[in-house]
A = this chain, B = another copy of it.
Amino acid sequence: MTGRAARTKKRTRIQVGNEERILDAALAVFSRYGYRGGTIDQIAARAGMSKPNLLYYYRRKKDIYVAVLERTLTMWLAPLESLDAAGDPQEEVRRYVRRKLALSRSHPEASRLFLSEILQGAPLLRPKLEQELRAQVRRKAAVLQGWMDQGRLTPLDPVHLLFTIWATTQHYADFDSQIRAVLGRDAMTETMFETAEATILKLFFEGLGVEG
């Protein structure tokens, strides 16, 4: 049982609207303080409703957390899926890096929510990661490996290549505060993301080594 709202077949306009506001608020709170650190009071206040009213929609704290995790999982897995074996290797990788970086810019809280869950040992997400993510990585690593075997990409461990792409792009969402501390409080600008993208792509495709 996950609350009345989830059981009801036809949801009213008010229900849909309120559930969205709750999940938006939950995303903000949980991504900042973690599951245990976030409180229902905070979420209710941010969603502009009373705690009891919020609990009418989601009976328990965990239900809210699960719902917001599920809602963002799709977004999380989508970009890698579009890596196309039929496309040009370098262009495909380039496009993937760009999409991931764009997501870090447009949805930093989603990135931090997943990170927060993973930091805790992924107690709720583990099954999904071990099944869906694992299978997806296996498939896409095979695509990368194929390109390497054909001599169209430098031969590398394809799984660790994916880890490296995730790490570098998500860094700009997850380490937001640190980047601001180093570059200045209003550092997260369009220009900065363009510099980041150019740096990452040049590093990944040309490398640091200079011949001569």
Contact = CB atoms under 8 A, between A and B. Distances in A.
A188 interface: no
Interface in A122-157: 122, 126, 129-130, 133-134, 137, 151-154, 156-157
A6 interface: no
Interface in A187-212: 195-196, 198-200, 202-210, 212
Contact of A209 (B118, B154, B212): B154
Interface in A106-127: 112, 115-116, 118-122, 126
Interface residues of A, number: 65
A156 B90 contact: no
A212 B151 contact: yes
Interface stretch (A13-21, A50-58, A170-178): A170-178
Contacts of A40: none
A37 interface: yes
A182 interface: yes
A208 B200 contact: no
Given A32-B121, A35-B37, A116-B119, A208 B93 contact: yes
11 contacts: A35-B37, A36-B38, A112-B119, A118-B177, A119-B174, A121-B177, A122-B178, A130-B181, A154-B208, A164-B171, A206-B207
Interface of A: 31-38, 90, 93, 112, 115-116, 118-122, 126, 129-130, 133-134, 137, 151-154, 156-157, 159-161, 163-164, 166-168, 170-172, 174-179, 181-183, 195-196, 198-200, 202-210, 212
Q: List the 4 closest pairs (A to B, CB-CB), nearest first.
A: A207-B207, A36-B37, A167-B171, A129-B181
